[in-house]
Amino acid sequence: MSTMSWQFKEKARKRLAEETGTVTKDWGGRIRIALVFPNTYYVGMSNLGFQTIYRHLNQRPDIVCERAFFPDPEDLAEHERLRVPILSLESQRPLAEFDCVAFSTTYENDYLNMLRILELSGIPIRAADRKAVDPLVTMGGVCAWSNPEPLTPFMDWFFLGEGEESSPEVFELWQRIRETDRHPDVARGAFFLALCGIEGIYVPRFYDVKYQEDGTVAEVLPYEGAPIPVRKRRLLDTNAYDTVSTVRTANTEFGEMTLLEVGKGCGRGCRFCMEGEIYRPVRHRHTDAILRAAEPALQQGQRIGLVGACVSDYPWIDALIGALRARGGAVSLSSVRADSLSAGLVQGLLESGTRTLTIAPEAGTERLRNVIHKSLSDRRLFEAVDLIAESSVPSVKLYFMIGQPTETDEDIEGIIHLAKAARHRILQKRRNPTSLAELTVGVSSFVPKPWTAFQWCAMADVRSLVGKIDQLRKELRRVGIRFTHDVPKWAYVQAVLSRGDRNVANLLQLALTYRGDWRRAFREWPRNPDFYACRERSLSERFPWDHFDVGTKRERLETEYRRAMGELPERVVKWKASLA
């Protein structure tokens, strides 16, 4: 074990040597926080939220925050075989030596990794089994405030909403309480109770969930004066907090690019989009604040990647890119909206070295785009494709979702038609030798997420999704269009976890026991996973997440759902029959 531990420490030191912007601190007298991304280093360091909270916590002199990650695939077996604990990156200490293990979680499919990290670290999986000598265990990130219920037996508390303001309040409270003369177990209990008084904090041990005979949630009862609903924390002034990556390494999806958020939320109102709902209201950062945050990267000649739910909708996008370019910065965008694309924007990105532009029509027909509230006509889409092809950007990607509510065979055929028509237009532009755009079509499986107008809908079954993917692959590759797709069985797991209640915690623990064998876990779990993933909800049903207030109203979502289902009712009847 000592030899393998030494090898893992050497790997960590090598990664640190390849980074710039790392924060290292002495542990003396400070609250020791292990900020854990439950996926590999490559994935975690590509996440702007993870980088932001790392920098934000380390700005406080009373906190030392170090990073930790799920082992790389080639290391996991040795960790498990030799029981080598997960080590922090900065000091290579086991997570069990920290005061708090704080997960930053963006993807439901990483939930199992969270439990495996705790298990490998020798930290009891369930909160009820931890003692005063064990670290506190918490979680933030978008999964923590969309629906944390499947993880409630494992977490001491959750950060709901944006944590820039609530996180220092929490750890100041912990510092005050642990400095008292009370017994450690008493201090721990007092801390959890006091946490209920901080807005944006959810302490699940103080809530009891009652169920109906049919398995749906009946009511949620708060104890000890815990608030209900539990409200998310929302930054009133986004300009006061920079959301920018400051640790740079080539070992990420974006290389050494500096990521910079232009704002929070999206005002488009797509009915499938959870992010557009839970980040309400839309808050754009001022151009001056963005340029201030970008200045260190510009001075070092770093490429700037602008990110956000709808970057090309940023009201001053042309001026912002112009200002960054004037300062010598190269600029990239995470994606662009076809109906907000301009020649100036495309040219600015091209001059910055952008090689791929992604447009997301989401659906193959205008009818289905109207259902999902994606107001994009075929004509406007083709205008955007022409604009990109004429600019000589090397690659165009069109992104779609399959299995969306009211989808029919005609909508899948529509994806094929759009892709072929787009390729034809690109080939026409390639008569100009400077126009070299290639086309890729990417599809993912629709998951009806909490806090969306489609939270009442059922997910399409895995077999039908696989069939649609096979059809698209066959037709698109036949004409030379590159095709990528997700794996429907993993989308199904995501649906169960994102829509689950506290009973799903037992499923997660089974998946842990069987080392990620979800098929066996589903088989031995006494509940039916289709109850969570593939069941249409009645409008009167109470959701597991209804005792939270994330800033969007159920009544408004119900109105949007009714509007969507009222679009061409005969197609809705046909679609619902296909799910039976």
- The DSSP symbol for 336 reads B
**pLDDT in the model for residue 368:** 97
Residues of the chain with pLDDT > 70: what percent?
95
Whether the predicted pLDDT of 251 surpasses 50: yes
**pLDDT in the model for residue 435:** 47
Kindly report the backbone phi and psi dihedral angles of residue 302, in degrees, each rounded to the nearest multiple of 5, phi listed first: -80, 145
One-letter amino acid of 244: V
Query: Helix (H, G, I), strand (E, B), or coil: what is residue 578?
Result: helix
**Looking at 16-20, 251-255, 400-404, which range is the least confident one?**
251-255
- Please tell me the distance from the alpha carbon of residue 331 to that of residue 90, in angstroms, as a whole number: 30
Distances (CA, A) of 574 to 363, 401, 551, 564: 18, 19, 34, 15
Query: Helix (H, G, I), strand (E, B), or coil: what is residue 68?
Result: strand
- Please tell me the distance from the alpha carbon of residue 226 to that of residue 34, in angstroms, as a whole number: 27
Tens-digit pLDDT profile for residues 45-86? 999 999 999 999 999 999 999 999 999 999 998 888 888 999
Name the pLDDT band for 2 (thresholds 50, 70, 90). Answer: low
Name the pLDDT band for 1 (thresholds 50, 70, 90). Answer: very low
CB neighbour class for 270 (10 Å; exposed up to 12, middle 13-18, buried from 19)? buried
Structure-block tokens of residue 184: 């450690």
Q: Which residue has the tokens 């259902």?
A: 371
Average confidence (pLDDT) over 224-234:
93
Average confidence (pLDDT) over 180-184:
76
Q: What class is the 2-231 domain?
A: alpha beta
**pLDDT in the model for residue 573:** 47
Q: What is the DSSP string of 445-507?
A: E----TTSTTTTSPPPPHHHHHHHHHHHHHHHHHTT-EEEE--HHHHHHHHHHHT--TTHHHH
Q: Where are the beta strands (DSSP E) in 170-320?
A: 201-202, 207-211, 217-222, 230-231, 258-261, 263-264, 283-284, 304-307
**pLDDT in the model for residue 57:** 95
- Please tell me the distance from the alpha carbon of residue 99 to that of residue 188, in angstroms, as a whole number: 12
- Please tell me the distance from the alpha carbon of residue 533 to that of residue 259, in angstroms, as a whole number: 34
Q: Which residue has the higher pLDDT, 391 or 541?
A: 541
Cβ neighbors of 64 (< 8 A, separation 6 or more) are 25, 26, 27, 30, 31, 32, 33, 58
Quick one: CA torsion of 102, 166, 154, 46, rounded to 10 degrees? -40
- The DSSP symbol for 534 reads S
Run of H or E including 176: helix 163-178
Tens-digit pLDDT profile for residues 391-440? 877 888 999 999 999 999 999 999 999 999 999 988 887 665 544 558 99
Average confidence (pLDDT) over 27-48:
95
Average confidence (pLDDT) over 361-387:
93
- The DSSP symbol for 352 reads T
Kindly report the backbone phi and psi dihedral angles of residue 87, in degrees, each rounded to the nearest multiple of 5, phi listed first: -110, 145
CB neighbour class for 450 (10 Å; exposed up to 12, middle 13-18, buried from 19)? buried
Whether the predicted pLDDT of 5 surpasses 90: no
- The DSSP symbol for 279 reads T
Q: Which long-range contacts (CB under 8 A, 24 or more apart) does 338-341 make?
A: 338/376, 338/380, 338/381, 338/383, 338/384, 339/375, 339/376, 339/380, 339/384, 340/312, 340/313, 341/312, 341/384, 341/387, 341/388
Tell whether the torsion through CA atoms of 95, 96, 102 and 108 is positive or negative.
positive
CATH superfamily of 239-494+550-579: tm_1862 like domain (3.80.30.20)
Distances (CA, A) of 521 to 13, 119, 499, 508, 518: 37, 18, 17, 8, 5
Domains 2-231 and 239-494+550-579 share a fold: no
Domain extent listing, the chain:
2-231, 239-494+550-579
